[in-house]
Structure 1
Amino acid sequence: MPEKNIRLEVMQAIEPQVDGFMEQFLMPIETIWQPSDFLPDSESDSFFDEVHKIREEAKELGYDFWVVLVGDTVTEEALPTYESWLMDVEGIDQHDEKGNSWSRWVRAWTAEENRHGDVLNKYLYLSGRVNMREVEMTTQHLINDGFDIGTDRDPYKNFVYTTFQELATNISHKRVGKLAKEKGNLSLSKMCNIIAGDEMRHHLAYSEFVKTIFGEDPSGMLMAFADMMKKKIVMPAHFLRESGQSAGKAFELFSDCAQRLGVYTAQDYIDILKKLNASWDIENLRSLSESAEKARDYLVKLPERLERIAQRMSFGQEQYRFKWVEANGML
């Protein structure tokens, strides 16, 4: 049977479990946090005092911090791209009445993720520390440019990607929250930490999707995992740019800031791979095809290989003048 047909059959076979995954890993809209829970209440007489407090606390945060926070915010704001991509994955059908369980998952996941960009964008606006028009143009460029994460319409590869990326964003937001707390910015720290909590729930959900697929098609799932790691997991914002730039020019510079701050590093990438290998019990999978056995050998040895490469890697130490924050006079 063609590989595409096998994937579709597997997606259809495990679809009845998806509603249960939604109950386990997503939260009701009426009870989950909303951006207004962490921002000044515009209806309150104390609104301007609260905004003043945000602006004063924001002055304690350094240049690299603001670059990373802007990059994280723009990444979250490009959500329309991610939803449209996932809706096109094999086995996800949004056209049959309200759609199948997979499409309901994508909509519910998107609805939760949407709050992240909202709260961070409003915080940036109130902080007075960034050039919002430049940030907004970057967001529009990123959505307009789209992205190619190397997964095509393959559900196996897409779920490997989302599992990896949700954990990566968990790490990034959690570290930014820690840095904010160290500077006495407790409100921003709370925002970042609660976003990180969402990302962890989503990571666990996508990891469970992959684990379930391993139960149905271990060889196919293992080879898809290996293929994604051979291509390397590219960040959702790998086409990040500032106004007047070509797509992708700002991403490496943004990544240098994240590396300097220790927000997201090459070692984090390796640690995530190790965690996925362990979580999916790669070494103990049985009844594999010959190609899948080779894929497993590759995945088991890959962390050590990447660590050797990471030891030789270097990243930019010089602060690039981003249009997002250069008006603050922090350089």
Structure 2
Amino acid sequence: MQYSLRAGLDNGTENNPYMGFVYTSFQEQATFLSHGNMARLAKEAGDPVLARICGTIAADEKRHENAYIKFVEKLLEVDPNTTMLAIANMMKKRIVMPQHLMYDGQDSNLFEHYSAVSQRLGVYTTRDYAEIVEFFITQWKLENLEGLTGEARSAQDFVCKFPLTVRKLENRAKKVESCQMKFSWIFNKEVSV
């Protein structure tokens, strides 16, 4: 049986275009990294076709990311206060990918299990998340924004310190014990999560 994403996909942007551009910038960078990592893993495993497919997708995601980065750069130029608040709001929500709603009809925690495998294999890790935030802090020159309102300065401070918070989560993720879990889409094969 085939299942689709649950109705009403909520990426946390509250129908706010500022938050939408922040979300898509982050999401495109994350998918660029994860597909690039999959390409590397596929090549190491001796599957050049999968490596090429994943590499092509990664390159496409990078092009999307570049466009969204420019949108946010322009928003920071014309409305730095609202944009800084949007960036902080998205970081506080912990940007999640659309797959967080995936369901196979059996496992109600499928995304958590999928994420654990991804973390263990190095496809997409907590470290990647922290590095993406650091990348955007540098790319958008967030530490150097001046003339912000008090609320926007607080948001700036939160965002610029946020990678440290994520790095602490990375250390916790390394300590989690693995267990075996069956995944229906790979014929109920048990995988270490």
Q: TM-score, normalised by structure 2?
A: 0.92
3-state DSSP class of the match of 1:242?
coil
Q: Which runs of 5+ in 1 are unaligned?
A: 1-133
Paired position in structure 2 for 1:280: 140
Q: Distance in 2 between matches of 1:330 and 1:208?
A: 40
Q: Distance in 1 between matches of 2:84 and 2:107?
A: 38
1:192 aligns with 2:54: yes
Runs of 4+ in structure 1 off by over 4 angstroms are: 327-331
Q: Tell me which of 155, 163, 178 is aligned to 1:303.
A: 163
The 8 Å contact of residues 173 and 195 in structure 1, kept in 2 or not, is answered as yes
Q: Distance in 1 between matches of 2:56 and 2:176?
A: 30
1:26-41 aligned within 5 A: none
Paired position in structure 2 for 1:153: 15
The 8 Å contact of residues 259 and 315 in structure 1, kept in 2 or not, is answered as no
1:183 aligns with 2:45: yes
Paired position in structure 2 for 1:269: 129
Between the aligned residues of both structures, percent identity stands at 40
Task: Determine which structure has the larger strand proportion and give its number.
Answer: 2
- 1:245: how far off? 4.5
Q: TM-score, normalised by structure 1?
A: 0.55
3-state DSSP class of the match of 1:312?
helix
Number of aligned pairs?
Answer: 191
How big is the alpha-carbon RMSD for the aligned residues of Structure 1 and Structure 2? 1.9
Paired position in structure 2 for 1:319: 180
Q: 1:208 to 1:326 in 2, by over 3 A?
A: same
1:91-110 aligned within 5 A: none
Q: Distance in 1 between matches of 2:104 and 2:183?
A: 8
Q: 1:251 to 1:329 in 2, by over 3 A?
A: closer
The 8 Å contact of residues 253 and 316 in structure 1, kept in 2 or not, is answered as no
- 1:326: how far off? 2.5
| 1:90-142 Cα shifts (integer Å, max 9, x gaps) | xxxxxxxxxxxxxxxxxxxxxxxxxxxxxxxxxxxxxxxxxxxx5xx13x2x1
Higher gyration radius (CA): 1
Q: 1:315 to 1:197 in 2, by over 3 A?
A: farther
Equivalent position amino acid for 1:150 in 2: G
3-state DSSP class of the match of 2:180?
coil
Q: Which runs of 5+ in 2 are unaligned?
A: none
Q: Distance in 2 between matches of 1:319 and 1:311?
A: 21
3-state DSSP class of the match of 1:145?
coil
The 8 Å contact of residues 145 and 239 in structure 1, kept in 2 or not, is answered as no
1:239 aligns with 2:101: yes
The 8 Å contact of residues 260 and 317 in structure 1, kept in 2 or not, is answered as no
The 8 Å contact of residues 35 and 58 in structure 2, kept in 1 or not, is answered as yes
Q: 1:263 to 1:153 in 2, by over 3 A?
A: same
| 1:265-289 Cα shifts (integer Å, max 9, x gaps) | 0110000000000000001112211
Q: Distance in 2 between matches of 1:295 and 1:324?
A: 41
1:107-122 aligned within 5 A: none
